[in-house]
Structure 1
Amino acid sequence: MSPVLRKTLKIIGYPAATLVGVVALYYGVAQVLSRIPVAAEPTQEAATVPFFIYSNGVHTDLVMPVKSRFIDWSEQLPYSNTQAHDSTYEYVGVGWGDKGFYLDTPTWAQLKPSTAVRAGFWLSSTLMHATFYRASDLTSGPRCVPLSLTPDQYRRLIAYVEKSFQRDATGQFNWLPGHSYADHDAFYEA
């Protein structure tokens, strides 16, 4: 092998191996840490609010009822901000993430090294992603974990989620028109 080719392979190989190593380390740590059990919070209230953690394999959503006695999410996340304008969805999932990762990486096949580096080191802005779900979409399995929250836990979750959205001059969540993965989701500034 010629010295020039050997040097070129080193120049390309080391950064590529480093990137693969970082991604593998991240995945490994995520797998280990996600299996650590957490003690339940002591409470006298019954856990009556349905709640789901849903993953499409790339992004994870916190899924809540669109309408409950605590909040009507469709007032801040209107169905009209989706392509379908379909108000028959009963649940809404929200996720937070890197703007470039969300907009450029709907599936792992579209992941670019530059996007991964920017997302991994928080070098770009972030977005909130809202996806509407039907109850039939939320069956328990490897991608969907059903849980129940107490009213107090849900009120705290509502406050946390609402603080995560950037608001416009009218107080509404700042919608990013023209961007979606499908006909029942929308993006908002975080």
Structure 2
Amino acid sequence: MKMVTNETTSWRRVGSVARGVLASFALLLLCYFATGSMFGAIPRATIAAPAAGPDAVTIFIESSAVHTAIIVPKQAAGVDWRDWARPEDLRDPRYAGFPYLAIGWGEAGFFRETPHWRDVRAGTILHAALGSERTMIHVDHLPLPRANGNDVRMVRLSPEAYRRMVAFIQASWRRGGPHYPGYDVYDAFYEAKGRYSALYTCNGWTGDALAAAGLRMGWWTPFPWTVMPWL
């Protein structure tokens, strides 16, 4: 006959509670992804974008597994980004000669502590998901991008629509704030405005920027796959 001690019973209870917590967390994640995907497929009401004519500005939207960014020309439609992302902000100022910028918004800790996917930590993700006032703009200086229909999409905007999108992006940028070295020699981080959370992610910011230009976009866009299908 096997004796069941109080210690054994206690450990069984701990194990049962742990399994319950894990199951609840898994269910919460499932609901989050399902709800985000559902609302990302529902179009929001936007100001219709003016037709893109011969003077249209070409931008690109790039996507990874979890993050989206907007690629803009440094000079177009009366907008000059060179005073916002300066050569001296880079480890190698020569890369400032590239004609495009990839601009993304996100949580500061997640941005700066995860240069590679192998660097991702559960605590970093949880801190960002619960909400953070520390946000940053990440800027890459790039040559002419190539749309591939998959993780890089090309979009043409009228000058008016482009300037509306630019106004949204610049309103998120803490102009005059400090900047920090990027992951490599051709990128940098800048202080931003706004609160990051699981309810408002980097992809939500991208969706809002594109909607400001009048592009058709989902009602809530927390994931890359709630942004890219609209383009």
* Short-chain TM bin: 0.7 to 0.9
Q: Give secondary structure in 2 for the equivalent of 1:177.
A: strand
In structure 2, relative to structure 1, the CA distance for the partners of 1:61 and 1:4 (3 Å cut) is same
Deviates more, 1:16-25 or 1:117-126: 16-25
Alignment of 1:61-100 (within 5 A): 61-85=69-93, 86-100=95-109
Residue 27 of structure 1 is matched in structure 2 by 33
Aligned pairs, number? 183
Whole-Å separation in 2 of the counterparts to 1:33 and 1:106 = 30
CA RMSD of aligned residues (A): 2.7
Counterpart in 2 of 1:171? none
1:33 to partner: Cα distance: 4.1
Contact kept in structure 2, 1:90 and 1:133, CA below 8 Å: yes
Please name the residue that 2:128 is paired with.
Answer: 119
The 5 Å alignment of 1:40-59 reads 41=48, 43=50, 46=53, 48-59=56-67
Residue identity opposite 1:82 in structure 2 = L
Distance 2:49 2:13 in 1: 61
How far off its partner does 1:61 sit? 0.5
Spell out the pairing of 1:1-190 with structure 2 (5 A cutoff): 2-36=8-42, 41=48, 43=50, 46=53, 48-85=56-93, 86-135=95-144, 137-168=145-176, 174-178=177-181, 180-190=182-192
Q: Which amino acid aligns with 1:162?
A: Q
Contact in 1 for aligned 2:51/2:158 (Cα 8 Å)? no
Which structure's CA Rg is the greater one?
A: 2
The aligned amino acid for 1:176 is H
**TM-score (norm. length: structure 1):** 0.80
Quote the offset at 1:88 in angstroms.
3.0
What SS does structure 2 have at the residue aligned with 1:75? coil
Contact 1:175 1:186 survives alignment (8 Å): no
Secondary structure in structure 2 of the residue aligned to 1:57: coil
Q: 1:105 to 1:62 in 2, by over 3 A?
A: same
Contact residue 176 and residue 189 of structure 1 kept, 8 A: yes
Unaligned runs of 5+ in 2: 193-231
CA distance in 1, matches of 2:111, 2:128: 10
Cα deviation 1:91-124 (Å, max 9, x = unaligned) = 1111111111111233443332222222223234
Identity percentage over the alignment?
Answer: 24
Do the aligned residues in 2 keep the contact of 1:118 with 1:124 (CA within 8 Å)? no
Q: Deviations over 1:69-97 (max 9, x none)?
A: 42221211113212222123221111111
Return the structure number with greater relative CO, CA threshold 8 A, min gap 6: 2
Residue 97 of structure 2 aligns to a residue whose secondary structure is coil
Deviation larger for 50-59 or 156-165: 50-59
